[in-house]
Amino acid sequence: MKTYETVAGKVIQLKICPKTAHIKAEFASGGELPECLTGLFTTEREAEIAILKYIDIKDTQEKKKSTKEL
Protein backbone atom coordinates (compact mmCIF):
# COMPACT_ATOMS: atom_id res chain seq x y z
CA MET A 1 0.00 0.00 0.00
CA LYS A 2 1.03 3.60 -0.47
CA THR A 3 2.63 5.98 2.00
CA TYR A 4 2.30 9.77 2.17
CA GLU A 5 4.48 12.36 3.87
CA THR A 6 2.99 15.35 5.67
CA VAL A 7 4.47 18.84 5.62
CA ALA A 8 5.93 18.15 9.07
CA GLY A 9 7.70 15.06 7.73
CA LYS A 10 5.48 12.43 9.36
CA VAL A 11 4.66 9.42 7.20
CA ILE A 12 1.06 8.25 6.85
CA GLN A 13 0.66 4.69 5.67
CA LEU A 14 -2.34 2.69 4.57
CA LYS A 15 -2.99 -0.76 5.99
CA ILE A 16 -5.73 -3.32 5.68
CA CYS A 17 -7.73 -3.75 8.89
CA PRO A 18 -7.63 -7.49 9.67
CA LYS A 19 -11.07 -7.47 11.29
CA THR A 20 -12.98 -5.94 8.37
CA ALA A 21 -10.65 -6.01 5.34
CA HIS A 22 -11.25 -2.26 4.97
CA ILE A 23 -8.40 0.22 4.69
CA LYS A 24 -7.15 2.35 7.57
CA ALA A 25 -4.57 5.12 7.79
CA GLU A 26 -1.95 5.40 10.51
CA PHE A 27 1.26 7.28 11.22
CA ALA A 28 4.24 5.00 10.56
CA SER A 29 6.01 6.30 13.66
CA GLY A 30 2.88 6.13 15.81
CA GLY A 31 0.77 8.94 17.17
CA GLU A 32 -2.79 10.12 16.99
CA LEU A 33 -4.31 10.76 13.59
CA PRO A 34 -6.38 13.85 12.92
CA GLU A 35 -10.12 13.18 13.07
CA CYS A 36 -10.52 13.43 9.29
CA LEU A 37 -8.30 10.35 8.84
CA THR A 38 -9.69 8.13 11.58
CA GLY A 39 -12.05 5.32 10.80
CA LEU A 40 -12.05 2.92 7.89
CA PHE A 41 -12.17 3.45 4.14
CA THR A 42 -13.75 1.03 1.69
CA THR A 43 -11.23 1.70 -1.09
CA GLU A 44 -7.62 2.80 -1.29
CA ARG A 45 -8.72 5.70 -3.50
CA GLU A 46 -11.09 7.06 -0.80
CA ALA A 47 -8.27 6.94 1.73
CA GLU A 48 -5.90 8.63 -0.70
CA ILE A 49 -8.35 11.48 -1.34
CA ALA A 50 -8.79 12.09 2.42
CA ILE A 51 -5.03 12.04 3.03
CA LEU A 52 -4.22 14.36 0.13
CA LYS A 53 -6.92 16.80 1.30
CA TYR A 54 -5.43 16.77 4.80
CA ILE A 55 -1.89 17.32 3.48
CA ASP A 56 -3.08 20.15 1.22
CA ILE A 57 -4.88 21.90 4.10
CA LYS A 58 -1.82 21.59 6.36
CA ASP A 59 0.45 22.87 3.59
CA THR A 60 -1.81 25.89 3.03
CA GLN A 61 -1.84 26.62 6.77
CA GLU A 62 1.97 26.47 6.92
CA LYS A 63 2.30 28.83 3.95
CA LYS A 64 -0.09 31.31 5.59
CA LYS A 65 1.93 31.12 8.83
CA SER A 66 5.22 31.77 7.07
CA THR A 67 3.71 34.67 5.12
CA LYS A 68 2.46 36.30 8.34
CA GLU A 69 5.89 35.94 9.96
CA LEU A 70 7.49 38.02 7.20
- At 5-54, the pLDDT tens digits run 998 899 999 999 999 999 999 999 999 999 999 999 999 999 999 999 99
Angle in degrees, CA 5, 8, 4, rounded to 5: 10
> Could you tell me the residue range of the domain that residue 16 belongs to?
3-69
What is the Cα 40 distance to its own chain's centre? 13
pTM given for the model: 0.86
- At 46-65, the pLDDT tens digits run 999 999 999 999 888 888 88
Domain count within the chain: 1
